[in-house]
């Protein structure tokens, strides 16, 4: 029977990153994943699922030797960020404020995963089992892992990188604190009349935010056409209704409910998902370790989800680096470093989200005044931006 130092269940962005990091440390690693990422072709339409990748996440991906590969496929840098409720009360951020070339990048999730997977081949100590799924774990000093296909192996640590409904977390007996936001999020890829843009923006409304993330432009008949990802938060009933209409009808709804900054658009594709907050009551148990969405999910309001997952990876790799033995002391260090930060971000997004999710006159005045004050807060504003960028 094969025996590994690390078994990573889930080969998405965060799982692939932690697997690559442990392989780079010289540990024997196995990755279990049900579906490999589709190969890249420049003619492919952009995927619906994208992430706003922070400077700290880029730094991690670069340290793993994959950022240049991802960047060579397609990424969209953005330099400006704006958020507002009333158009006259805006908070604006610009990369120049921190002497940066960009605030971050909008990248398709699949391309981040693909760049990481392509690097797997560089390591003889990294094995991929795909397509496969976890069936059970027999817990001991060294865990016995059984896959649905019947294959078994032993692993000193089992990393749960298998998403919000993590089977690793369930099998390890780790509970979660969770609640439903009673809202759904619709993602809509559009072609924009405006050419390539370097800004991501968000407007708050009583029924939920409306957001724009820039995507790579396309050239048609010698003309540059911009593309963007729209994010529409609303009640489950409203989102289901929007998903059931034609693209031309959806375009009319978008033009009616999104701010004028958007301009005219053509709907390319769309999808939706419910919003739920989860936080694992522990990040490890029985030699099982949680990272990313398996440990915590967050309101996607500020696009911080995958960045928090990459922070988990960064810390887990830092506490285990140069350590011959993998033990509970290291896991305690990992949790002490990550739980407060994840909780702070979750709570901050909830306060922001709930604070803008109503139409009460006095509160509306206060929150718009706060946005106006934030715009002119100088060093405080810069510090908030640094934290969001992971600097």
CB atoms within 10 A of CB 41: 7
Rounded CA separation 78/370 (Å): 25
Q: Residue 298: its pLDDT value, please? A: 82
Model's pTM, two decimal places?
A: 0.90
Q: Indicate where the chain has its CATH 3.50.50.60 domain(s).
A: 3-75+105-179+277-355
Ramachandran assignment for 132, one of left (phi > 0), alpha (psi -120 to 50 degrees), beta (any other): beta
Query: Which two three-digit tokens encode residue 349?
Result: 């997004």
Q: Residue 195: its pLDDT value, please? A: 79
**Segments in the chain forming alpha helices (H):** 13-24, 55-63, 67-73, 109-120, 167-171, 236-243, 247-257, 305-320, 328-356, 361-375, 379-388
- Looking at domain 3-75+105-179+277-355, its CATH class is alpha beta
Rounded CA separation 350/300 (Å): 10
**Angle at Cα 370 formed by Cα 366 and Cα 373, nearest 5°?**
135
Query: Which two three-digit tokens encode residue 243?
Result: 């998903």
Ranges of the chain with pLDDT below 50: 360-372
The SS3 assignment for 149 reads coil
Report which of 366, 231, 196, 205 is spatially closest to residue 302, judged by C-alpha positions.
231
Q: Residue 205: its pLDDT value, please? A: 85
Q: Residue 52: its pLDDT value, please? A: 92
Bridge partners (DSSP) listed for residue 29 = 6, 126
Query: Which two three-digit tokens encode residue 199?
Result: 């800004």
Q: Residue 193: its pLDDT value, please? A: 86
Q: Residue 377: its pLDDT value, please? A: 55
Q: Indicate where the chain has its CATH 3.30.9.10 domain(s).
A: 182-272
Q: Residue 88: its pLDDT value, please? A: 73
CATH architecture of 182-272: 2-Layer Sandwich (3.30)
């Amino acid at each position: 029977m094969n025996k590994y130092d690390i078994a990573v269940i889930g080969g998405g962005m965060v799982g692939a990153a932690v697997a690559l990091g442990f392989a780079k440390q010289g540990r024997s690693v196995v990755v279990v994943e049900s579906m490999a990422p589709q190969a890249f072709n420049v003619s492919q339409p952009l995927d619906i699922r994208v992430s706003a990748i922070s400077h700290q996440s880029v730094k991690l991906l670069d340290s793993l030797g994959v950022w240049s590969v991802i960047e060579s496929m397609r990424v969209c840098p953005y330099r400006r960020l704006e958020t507002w409720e009333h158009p006259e009360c805006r908070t604006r951020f610009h990369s120049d404020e921190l002497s940066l070339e960009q605030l971050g990048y909008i990248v398709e999730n699949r391309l981040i995963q693909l760049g990481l997977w392509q690097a797997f081949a560089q390591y003889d100590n990294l094995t991929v089992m795909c397509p496969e799924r976890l069936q059970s774990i027999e817990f001991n000093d060294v865990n016995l892992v059984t896959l649905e296909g019947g294959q078994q192996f032993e692993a000193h640590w089992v990393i749960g990188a298998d998403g919000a409904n993590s089977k690793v977390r369930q099998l390890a007996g780790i509970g979660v604190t969770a609640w439903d936001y009673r809202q759904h999020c619709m993602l809509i890829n559009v072609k924009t009349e405006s050419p390539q843009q370097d800004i991501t923006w968000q407007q708050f409304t009583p029924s939920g935010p409306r957001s724009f993330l820039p995507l790579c432009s396309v050239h048609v008949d010698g003309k540059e056409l911009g593309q963007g990802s729209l994010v529409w938060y609303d009640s489950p009933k409203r989102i289901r209704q929007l998903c059931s209409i034609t693209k031309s009808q959806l375009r009319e709804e978008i033009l009616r409910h999104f701010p004028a900054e958007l301009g005219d658009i053509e709907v390319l594709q769309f999808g939706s998902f419910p919003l739920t907050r989860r936080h694992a009551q522990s990040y490890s148990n029985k030699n099982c370790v949680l990272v990313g969405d398996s440990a915590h999910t967050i309101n996607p309001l500020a696009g911080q989800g995958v960045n928090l997952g990459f922070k988990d990876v960064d810390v887990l790799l830092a506490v285990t680096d140069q350590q011959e033995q993998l033990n509970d002391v290291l896991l305690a260090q990992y949790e002490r470093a990550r739980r407060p930060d994840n909780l702070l971000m979750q709570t901050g997004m909830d306060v922001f989200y709930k604070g803008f999710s109503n139409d009460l006159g006095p509160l509306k005045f206060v929150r718009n005044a706060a946005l106006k004050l934030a715009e002119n807060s100088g060093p405080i504003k810069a510090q908030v931006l640094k934290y969001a960028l992971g600097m």
